[in-house]
Structure 1
C-alpha cells in the first residue's frame, strides 16, 4: 500500500521517467545476453574444432600404436628363435627346464620392440608349460589358463584383444595369439601379453590441458584403459558418459554431444573396439564473455544517461497538453461548460481537445435549448441525463489514456483515443436523433472497445444482426445505455470470462434487438419494479425505464423494453420498435 501511495503521488512526468528506465534496461540486458550467447556459440564452435583436431591427432596416434603392437606380435609369433625354443625336445629334468628357460629368455629378449610394449605376460606351450616373461620362470597352468588356451587356439591365429590379465595401472589391455609352426602349421602354444598403458598416455598427455580437458581410452566393457587422471585407470566410466559415447558410436562418425556442463567428442579406433573420448568443461568457454560484458555495460550506462535526458524532454511534451486536457475535462465534468482550453498540438491529444471543445459547445447549446423549449418532461430528462453523463465518461477515458501513456502503452492509448473520437462523433452527429441501426451498432462497438481496453479480460462480445435491418431507422442512444448497464452493472464482481451478445431481426413489422449477458443477473423483485411507476426503483435501472418511455413516446405503447433475468446466470433485455426505412 505504501508503494501504491508513493506511485499515485508521483506526477505524470515522473511516472513516465520511472517506467521508461526499465524499458531501457531490459533491451540492454537483452543485448548483453544475445552478445554473450553469440560469443559462447562462436567459442563453442572454435572449441569443437580444436577438440576435433586433438581427437583426430590422438586417435591416429593410438591407431598407429595398436598397429605397431599387432605387427610386432605377429613378427614375434613367427620368430624362428621362439618357435625353435618351443619345439626343442628338452629332458624332463631340472636341467631340461633350465635349457627351456634359457632358450625362451633368449628368444623373447632379443626382440627389443616387444619388450617396449609389454608390461607383463606369458607363453603357454603345447606341452603345458607356462613361461612368465617377467619372472623368467616356468610354472604349470591352472584351469583358467587351460580354458583360455583352448579359446585362443580355436581362433586359429587371429589376434585377440581383451582385458589385461593383471589389473594394475601399468597395463592397458591384453593381446593374445596362437603360435603356429611356420613349417608344419601345427599349434605350438599361445602368447598372452599385457600392453603398457604408458604407450597411450605418452601419446596424448602433451596435447591435453588437465585443468580443462579430459581424454579417455575406453573398451566395450566401459573400462577406462588410459586417462590423464591416473586414479581413473581400470575404473568403470559413468552411465551418462557411456550413454553419450554409445550415441556417437551409433552415428558412425566423429560427432559431438553437449551435456549440461561439458562438451563430449568420441571416436572408435580402427583397430579393436576401443573408444577415444574427449571431454571439455564449458566454463573454459564462458570466461570469454566477461570482456565483452564489461564493454557493453559501459556502453549501456552512456546510453542510459542519454535516454533519460531525451525521455525528460518527451515526457514534458506529452504530459503538459494532457494535463491541460485533464483539467479541462474535470471542470466540464462538474458542469462548467464556459471553461476554455488552448492546446496547439496537432496530434491525437490536440484532435481530442478540439472535439471535446465542440462537444461542450453542443452540450451547452442543448442545455439552453432544453430550458427554453420546455418540451415534454421525460424527453428533457433524457437529454439532460445524456448531457451530464458524457463529460464524466470522457473524463474517465482521459484518465485511462493518461495511465496508459504513463505505462508506456502507446498502442492501447491510441486505440482508446480513436474509439473515443468515433464515439463522440457519433453521439454528436450534428444533433440527429434518428440514425440507422448500423450507425447505432458502430457507436455500441466503439463503447465496447473502449471498455475492453480498460479491462481486456473482463468480457467478449458478439453482434449478430440480420442484414435486412441494418439500414432501418432507430433512435440514437437507444442500445448503448443497455449495453453500458450490462458492462458496468451486470459484470460487477467479475474479473474475466464474461460474454455479451447482441442479436437483431425482423418480427413482422417490428424490429427486435436483444442484448444478453452472462453476468450476475437481477433479482426477480428488482425486475418487477423496473417499470413500476409506484415503486422506489434501483438507480442503475433508471435508464431502462427511460428507454421504454422514449420508445412509447415516439412509437406508441405497442413497443418498448422487456427484461428477463436469472440471478447468477445473466440478463436479457429485448428492445422492440417499428420497422422504419
Structure 2
C-alpha cells in the first residue's frame, strides 16, 4: 500500500505538471495569436484610406469640418474594434494635434503614453499591464497596449501613433478556467518579477522577488516544489515570449494527492477483510493506471521525436481520458501551426529576393542611362552598344529566371558586369580584380549577395572627386564552407558591425543597410552560423567576408 501510494503520488504530480504545461501551452499559443492579430489589426487601421486622409490634414479647430472628420474616424475605429471582442479600445494620436478614439472613452492625454524609437520608420512597441491613459465610464482600467507609428502611404511623412488596448481582465479570462482545486494560485509576472495579471485583481503590480519560488521562475525550473506558510506547493511556469512575461501556477501538493486518500482508505478496509482481495485489487488498479500512462508516455516520445501523426486512443471519462483528448487536440493544432509556419517561411523566402531587387539603387540605372545618352550624343556607337549590352547582361543576371539560389559563377558575372558599368562612370578612380578558384564556380550562393557589398565599398570610398579605390574580390573552399572576401583598399574605414546596422534608419546616405540585408538572407537560406562579417583595417581599407556552406548546384535548393 505504501509503494502504491508513493508511485501514484509521483504519477499524479507528473500528470499535474504535464497537464499544466499543456494548458499553459494552449494559453500561450492563444495569447500569442491574439497579440499577432492585434499587430495586424493596427496595420489594417493605419492603412485605411479615410484615416490616412483625415490624419494627414489640419483643419480649423472646433470647426464643423473638424467635428465631421473626428466623427467619421471614430465610426471607422468603432467598426474595426467591433470585429475583435478582445479589443477594449483603439486610439490614434495624430501629428495634426487631434486624438481619435473608438468611442465611449475619455482621453486623459493628448500624447501617446510612450515614445517610440525615432530611428525606425514604423516603430512598434508593447506595453505591459498599466493604468490606462484614458477613462471608461469615469474609471481607469488595467490594460495592455500595442503602439505603432505610421506614415502617409502617399508622401511617407509621419502621421502619428496608433494605440490598441486589451483589458487585463480579458488576459485573466484565458487562464481562469484552469482549475487545480481549492487553494491554487495562477498569475502572470513580467521580467522584473511584478505581477501583471492575477486571479485576484487586488494582487496586480505586486512584486514576487521576495518569494522563495521567484528564483525557480527566474531560472525557468518548472515542476519544482516549494514551501510557503508551512504548506507545500508545486511551481509550474512557462514563458510568454511576446511580452517577456511568465505564466506561473502554484498548486498545493495536498490538492494533487487528494485523490489518493479515498484509495488508501479503501485499501485499509479491504486489507482487514481479506488479504487476497487487497492483492487482487492492487494489481487491478496498478494495471488500470499504468496502461494508459504507458500509452501517453509512448505517444509523447513519438511527438518529441517529431512525429505529429500519432494520437492517444484512450476513451475513458476520467482525468486521463480528458488529458488524452486535450493532448490529441494539442498535437493537431501544433501540426496545423507548423504547416502554417512552413508555408509562411516559404513565402518569406520567395519574396525576399524580390524585395532586395526592388531596393537596387535607382541612381545606378539613371547614371548608366545618362552615360549611354552622352556616348550617343558623341556618336560613339560602339561604346553605346557595349555599355547597353553590359547593362542588359547585368539585369538579366539579376532576374535569373526568378531563381533565388544561383551558382557562384553566375553571381561573380553579375558583380563583374556591375563593376564594368561603374567603371564607365568613375573611370580610372575605380579599379578591381577577381581572384576566384574555379573549383567553387558550381557551388550555390544566394543571388545578389556580392552586389550590396561592392556598392557599399564604392559609395563609402568615392565620395569626393579625388578619391580612388581598388577592390579585390576573391573566393575559395575551406573544408565544407565557401569563403568569399571583398576587400577595398580605400582610404576610409567602415567600423559598423552587421548587428548594429539593424538599429540604423534606412534613409539616403545609409551605406550599410544593404550589408545587413545580404547577411540576413544568407542566414535565412543556410542557417544562423553563416552570413557576413566585417573586418576593419584602419588605414588599409575594409574587408567583408561571406561564409556559406559548400553545396553544389542541383543538390538541394536551400538548407
Q: TM-score, normalised by structure 1?
A: 0.40
Please identify which structure carries the higher helix content.
1
Rg larger in structure: 1
Which structure's relative contact order is higher, taking Cα pairs within 8 Å and 6+ residues apart? 1
